[in-house]
Amino acid sequence: MSAALQGPDLGVCYYPEQWPETLWAGDAARMVALGLSWVRIAEFAWARIEPEAGRFDWGWLDRAVETLGQAGLKVIMSTPTAAPPRWLVDRHPEILPVDDRGITRKFGSRRHYCFSSPRYRIEAARICRAVAERYGANPHVQAWQIDNEYGDHDTIHSYSDAAGAAFRDWLKARYGSIGALNTAWGTSFWAMTYADFAQIELPNNLVEEPSPTHLVDYLRFASDEVRAFNKAQVEVIRPLSPGRPITHNYMNQHTAFDHYELGQDLDIASWDVYPLGGLVHGRLPEADKARYLRVGDPDQTAFNHELYRTVGKGRVWVMEQQPGPVNWASHNQAPADGMVRLWTWLAYAHGVEMVSYFRWRQAPFAQEQFHAALMLPDNRPDQAHGEIERVAAERHLLPALGPRPAARVALVLDYASRWASQSLPQGATYRAAHIALDWYAALRRHGVDVDIIGQHSDVAPYDLVVAPDLLIVDDGFIQRLKAARTRVVFGPRSGSKTRDMQIPAGLAGGPLAPLIDLRVTRVESLPPYHREAVRYGNATRPGGKWRETVDSPEAVLATFEAGQRAASPALIGNDKCRYVATLPEPDLLARILTDALTWAGVDHLDDLGDLRITRRGNLGFAFNYGPDAAEVPAPRTARFLIGERRLGPVDVAVWDEGG
């Protein structure tokens, strides 16, 4: 458990190998003067550490660690396995990943390796051991990062020969017999039957879509490969660097592997926060993207803070915080002046212990020349530098706070269910990640704190649990919900698939039976030019792009209006559980979820618009994402520590609620 913090620890990503050594000491001194205490290094430095096979050049890295440490910085040492050197690729080209077209991906960027390559597993463990033996006991090295951004550039899934062989071994272990696999995969359909595991190939380059179970099993296998790769490095580092926490830097809205499972082997979850790219590539309609162009989606970043706090078993860092325009999105706008400060306080408010900015100095060469940093390439401070300086000063205005306590509401994110909907989307516009974020945002707009949990999580602390897309249900999770005082709202498709990606024997929804009695007899995915109308209470509101026909003895709380199967249930429920049979448009979703809050006894505010508030201990935090000033809904007796009750655009307020 993390210690009490008086504001966030601050850090930066630094690349001594990219700059003349004459700059290092001055850089380190300026970092400390700015208020930074952590510095991450070496995640892409393999070629400098080992320029030829077996020949190590430690001198430059020894001096870098000493320079940074002597200045008063704590070093996060990285294992450099995200960028294998050219000589290794030349010696062992079989380590390269293969894309879904069967084309080998080449050297010249990063993440050019296949998780299933036995040779790369050996080489990764070898370089990890060399770095850990060198720096594991170094007093300046206070934490470790494994690799870098698993899955960036779509690199979780490789279709190499090694992956095929490993997949077949995985299937043998899972099913035991080829007959059991044929039954699970439904291979009698389209004469896909296998006589031996040796016949099974990876699910790419097929004429039509694969069996959904074939695809989901491959996605499960690929996730297990990532965890095994990561765990192997953790097991090297732990005995060589006792007492230092180990992390990995995850990414935004990335579900190609199970983050909860990977997190079991780590001490802290960290993630890389780039809100403006997330906005451009995200869920919001274009009008809202224009409104939030320079501030980002008001809910996407907080959603991920909550997720990774759970992944990290209560401990979360930001390893890379966007400081200005980036280079990798389809469009790369600059943050509004003040947003880096806002994002930093947002992180702390949501339980983040340390915020590290990417990067110290903007690179004047290579792929990321347009990626801003704290310093310009000519060594002058950029905009974020002054905003961080302000945060460092403001920290002293706050009392020390312990870990963020559990909220009263939780949202379920389940990776197996995400893979299930990827395998059988049943609609071109179905995006589970967007749906979950819509539900989260609908709650957050009413001032409600929301934890993100998995099916493994304890549900006892929560008055309300919402599950927007829980296709595959664990019986144990349902039983824990039944035993708890918690009330539950399930979205459409919940309980619709077995572990083998088949319709449950009692029809979709059947596994929810301990909580609610229903059967889904028909599903429709609807095109963008059509919207269902739903009658809820005294108003008719637009339904969404998904509609289910539900057979249930439970109370009908809302109905589809007019047209096809008019008056059929759109929302059903009992005293414990509710089920939504559509993907509601924003107005209907807000009504359903705010009513659920009242039903569960959770206090909430009127719609906050562009304002977001959250609480940590006795402190309240407000963040204004809008273009106009807004009134902070703090208690009348609140004592403001940062900011004021009338909060301007791109500004932060923090107040003490007492108690």
What is the percent of the chain with per-residue pLDDT over 70, rounded to a whole number? 99
**Residue pair 470/495 in contact by the 8 Å Cβ criterion:** yes
Nearest to 569 by CA among 596, 599, 548: 548
pLDDT for 597 equals 98
> How far apart (Å, rounded) are the C-alpha atoms in residues 317 and 333?
25
CA 356/CA 338 separation, integer angstroms: 17
pLDDT on residue 253: 85
Which residues on adjacent β-strands are paired with residue 247?
145, 268
**Residues 111 and 152 sit within 8 Å (Cβ to Cβ):** yes
Which residues lie below 8 Å from residue 192, measured CB to CB, with a gap of 6+? 185, 211
- CA atoms lying within 13 Å on the CB side of residue 111: 13
Query: Would you call 320 a catalytic residue per the annotation?
Result: yes
Question: Residue 544: its pLDDT value, please?
Answer: 82
Catalytic residue among 43, 123, 149, 394: 149
How many Å apart are CA 547 and CA 492, to the nearest integer?
A: 8
Residue 1 has pLDDT above 50, yes or no: no
Confidence of residue 4 (pLDDT cuts 50, 70, 90): low
Catalytic residue among 306, 320, 353, 387: 320
Confidence of residue 222 (pLDDT cuts 50, 70, 90): very high
Residue 519, both tokens = 């059967």
Reported as a pLDDT band with limits 50, 70 and 90, residue 659 is low
Q: Are 649 and 628 in contact (CB under 8 A)?
A: yes
Structure confidence by residue, pLDDT tens digits, 423-468? 999 999 999 999 999 999 999 999 999 999 999 999 999 999 999 9
Q: What is the pLDDT of residues 381-412, one digit of tens each?
A: 999 999 999 999 999 999 999 999 999 999 99
Q: How many CB atoms lie within 10 A of CB 264?
A: 12
> pLDDT tens-digit profile of 276-294?
999 999 999 999 999 999 9
Reduced to 3 states (helix: H, G, I; strand: E, B; else coil), residue 371 is: coil
- pLDDT single digits (tens) 159-178: 999 999 999 999 999 999 99
266: nearest Cα among 216, 206, 226, 218: 226
- Residues of the chain with pLDDT > 90: what percent? 97
Buried/exposed code over 214-230 (b: 16+ C-beta within 10 A; e: otherwise): bbbbbbbbbbbbbbebb
Q: How far does Cα 571 stand from its chain's mean position?
A: 29
Of 17, 19, 60, 14, the closest CA to residue 378 belongs to: 19
168 upstream amide cis, omega within 30 of 0: no
C-alpha dist (Å) from residue 328 to 279, 347, 480, 536: 13, 23, 43, 43
β-pairing verdict for 464-467 and 487-490? parallel
Question: pTM above 0.75?
Answer: yes
Q: Is the pLDDT of residue 655 over 90?
A: yes
Residues 576, 516: contact at Cβ < 8 Å? Answer: yes
Give the mean pLDDT of 529-553: 93
Mean pLDDT of the chain: 97
Q: Looking at the predicted structure, is the pLDDT value of residue 530 above 70?
A: yes
Q: What is the pLDDT of residues 507-525, one digit of tens each?
A: 999 999 999 999 999 999 9
117 φ/ψ angles, rounded to the nearest 5 degrees:
-70, 115
Domains and CATH numbers, the chain: 9-158+229-397 (3.20.20.80), 161-213 (no CATH), 409-600 (3.40.50.880), 613-656 (2.60.40.1180)
Nearest to 467 by CA among 479, 478, 482, 483: 478
Give the pLDDT mean for 460-485. 98
pLDDT tens digits, residue range 234-257? 999 999 999 999 999 999 989 999
Distance CA 582, CA 592 (A): 11
Query: Which residue type sits at 592?
Result: I
Reference 434, options 277, 260, 299, 273; nearest CA is 299
Residue 254 token pair: 């990335």
DSSP helix/strand/coil, 170: helix
